[in-house]
Amino acid sequence: MRPGDAIGNFTSRAGIVRVRNALNPMLWTTAVVFPTSLLAAYFFRDDVVLKYALAAFGAIPVLVTIISYFIFLFKDPDRLQSEEYLLRHQAMQILYRKEAESEVVEVVDEEPRLEIEPNPGSNSDES
């Protein structure tokens, strides 16, 4: 396998993100900024101030991502879940009603239905 094929394969797979959550923008920023700044720090390894400044600049997204993860972990853990999980969770919450009897509902096999609750002020006997 040629290096060009390996890079093309990696970039095509990197473009397919299956899990989307609140940390994805920070993770992508970390994946781009961290290696780039370390590479730049390597090229400027003779200038001590610039080398450490670039390395510190590359560490900022990593630290922000880690801190954000722990903030979301304790304050709003649902933001760490994928969009697909959140949509399924919301659908299950809509299907399950506390007043109704508990029953197992298979979302895929069930036909969609529209349930209309009568208004308490209207007279439903008038037809």
Q: Which residue has the higher pLDDT, 98 or 41?
A: 41
Domain tally for the chain?
1
Q: Residue 23's closest CA among 98, 83, 96?
A: 83
pLDDT, mean over the chain: 76
Structural domain containing residue 51 = 20-95
pLDDT surpassing 80 at residue 61? yes
Query: Is the confidence at residue 120, as pLDDT, over 60?
Result: yes
Tens digits of residue pLDDT in 67-109: 988 988 888 877 777 777 777 877 777 777 555 555 555 655 5
Q: Is residue 87 in some structural domain?
A: yes
pLDDT at 127: 46
Residue 74 lies in a domain: yes
